[in-house]
Structure 1
């Protein structure tokens, strides 16, 4: 893994995560075009990486296959790292994932990230349709090991898959009598609890904690990762990232209004209703009970919102608390313009490149 430099004047590396949130009244075609525009903006403004997450059967989160959008973005961007944050590995066959990301790395050498998670990225019924058996989560460590074996062509001789090879990949280069690629996909371990840092540390891989879901375990998770880290050929010392929901706007009241849409979507998800973004005015008019209003308030406050200076102050406080190397802005809000404005304002605040 190449350790990135700081982003502008920020005391940490900055990146962007776009969950393809699609609000009521927005078409999926418009959302995808706006995602492409946001990736190009993040690229031009000097953000380190642009990730997307895997979700299923959610009308408000429109990317079930991040790798397909990454393929498109390889031709739309120039320098930014592109990736899945993440691929929910129990939903997939490891060999297929290795093949897909081998292709992506060939399309954009040295710019591809593969974040691995074990959550389904959906509700229980849809997870059942995806995974077909209930032991999928328990098999996550074995799936990761299998995926790495295919990516690196590193199965031991007595492994049943020793003669099976992911193409494109190192084995193909050997057969074609050409030098192997000088780049490989950077593999990250993702999580939102204290389960995943043990694996990331043992494998010597970078670790990303999804704080946008809310967890008091972030400090313990980062501590576990650092204390147990084993240097590897991929990473000599721990490298950690925290992702957090953020909305910056010249008007702090508007930033808070936009954050209520994502909070309302979380409430709907808890109630087993379709996860979709409602306009802020509809959220404000919602006549919920005390518990429902508390949930909306909780998730509104969980998103960093305000002016660029206020959001930056919160980001810096988070970095000091956790000591992470990188913070990823999970752009939120009903308006896609509000999401791109967050990226613009934070980049301006830290004096990041303007083109």
Structure 2
């Protein structure tokens, strides 16, 4: 970390956003992608640190199938906020392709691009096979090999004699050594993924979906090895949230979203009316309550306070929030209420500087020495 951007002890963790490019029932993927872009621009003015987009394939209710393309679009229409993937599902891609995509993004928007990767499926087995013929869920050793290849392509650091020693990602550090490259993040819900991030000296994102937070983060810190990227551990806690002016409305939105996911998976989200927001029987009610228990729901001040508590409890350097409910306006308002209550510093309302130069907020995870 740079001395100017170390997270101050005792202060709230940074606040960032992970967007799923949610598609509402009766809407379209085009509308969802436009809404994601608009949300990123709002997040920048609210003072959020990062805006990441997820990767999903074959999901009728999620439009984020090409994160690098969406990142390029969002980065071109924003000025200072960091933009990245949360995350690219590495088993679905050739590491060289990812290195070149994000090398291109870094060349276009230096100092603003993040590359978050994970090993989750991101698709059903048939779709995964169509994306990459050998895209079976990798064993731990194979995933570690893919991650090592990606890092070596980004850094042009294959050892002599390696079959890829002469392969160069372009754009990349091999052709422009002083340009640096995007910081690599590891996303995980498991202790195994946490240990891998620690052993490689990478920043770690714990996805608080259905797993206990503490053990994975403790495992990450216990095995952390300082690297050229990080001198000390860096933890981002990703939390699902729903906020509204009134708690009752937030719970209505959350219940409708939860029931939609439980009943139909990744289909477009229906409006929270009628049976769409009510469990059919006690068994469904029990499943819904379990789903809701992994989310922070309520008025903006309550959610912000809970996020600060969760972040402080595990010593998180950063908190990333994700809101998956029906309605562009509902999602945007949820994020806005939380950001304002959390206390992030809004960006001054001013036009982009002449000539296209953008002021960049320093980030502790940007390498400039490769």
- TM-score after normalising by structure 1: 0.91
1:213-249 CA distance string (max 9 Å, x none): 2112x21100011111000111110000111111221
In structure 2, the partner of 1:188 is 185
Give yes or no for the alignment of 1:90 onto 2:91: yes
Q: State which drifts further: 57-66 or 343-352.
A: 343-352
Q: Could you say which residue in structure 2 is the equivalent of 1:200? A: 197
Partner Cα distance (1:88, 1:305) in 2: 28
The count of corresponding residues between Structure 1 and Structure 2 is 343
Encode CA deviations 1:287-331: one digit per residue, 9 max, x unaligned: 633322222222233221111111012112211322111110112
Q: Does 1:317 align with 2:317?
A: no
Task: Map Cα deviations across residues 16-65 of structure 1 (whole Å, 9 max, x no partner).
Answer: 00001111022222211111111011111111100111101111111111
Q: Give the match for residue 78 of structure 1.
A: 79
Partners of 1:209 and 1:203 lie apart in 2 by: 16
Let me know the Cα RMSD of the aligned residues.
2.1
Please list, as runs of the form range in 1=range in 2, the aligned pairs for 1:72-151 lying within 5 A after superposition.
72-133=73-134, 135-138=136-139, 139-151=142-154
Residues 1:215 and 2:211 are matched in the alignment: yes
Q: Equivalent residue for 1:350?
A: 342
Q: For 1:256 and 1:10, how far apart are their aligned partners in 2?
A: 29
Report the CA distance shift for 1:165/1:339 in structure 2 as closer, same or farther (over 3 A). Answer: same
Aligned to 1:165: 168
Deviation at 1:4, TM superposition (A): 4.7
Answering whether residue 326 of structure 2 is matched by residue 331 of structure 1, we say no
In the other structure, the counterpart of 2:262 is 267
Partners of 2:266 and 2:44 lie apart in 1 by: 32
The 1:290–1:124 alpha-carbon spacing in structure 2 relative to 1, beyond 3 Å, is farther
Distance 1:95 1:29 in 2: 29
2 CA distance for matches of 1:69 and 1:135? 26
Question: SS of the counterpart of 2:83?
Answer: strand
Match of residue 18 from structure 2: 17
Residue 345 of structure 1 deviates from its aligned partner by 1.3
Q: Name the CA distance, whole Å, in 1 between partners of 2:320 and 2:92.
A: 24
Q: Secondary structure at the match of 2:257?
A: helix
Q: Any idea what SS the aligned residue of 2:320 has?
A: strand
> Is contact 1:90-1:140 (8 Å) kept?
yes
Does structure 1 retain, via aligned residues, the 8 Å contact 2:15–2:339? Answer: no
CA shift at 1:135, angstroms?
4.7
Contact residue 263 and residue 295 of structure 1 kept, 8 A? no
Match of 1:305 among 297, 305, 330: 297
Q: Deviations over 1:156-208 (max 9, x none)?
A: 001110001000012222xxxxx621x32010011011111111111111000
1:282 CA displacement: 4.4
* Runs of 5+ unmatched residues, structure 1: 174-178
Preserved contact between residue 55 and residue 122 of structure 2 (Cα < 8 Å): yes
Separation (CA, whole Å) in 1 of partners of 2:172 and 2:151: 12
SS at 2:153's partner residue?
helix
Task: Give 3-state SS (helix, strand or coil) of 2:56's partner.
Answer: coil
Aligned residue for 1:280, secondary structure, equals coil
Q: Which residue of 2 aligns with 1:176?
A: none
Contact 1:55-1:64 at 8 Å conserved across structures: yes
TM-score, normalised with respect to structure 2 = 0.87
Q: Aligned equivalents of 1:283 and 1:32: distance in 2?
A: 28
- Counterpart CA distance in 2 for 1:6 and 1:14 is 12
Counterpart of 1:276? Answer: 268
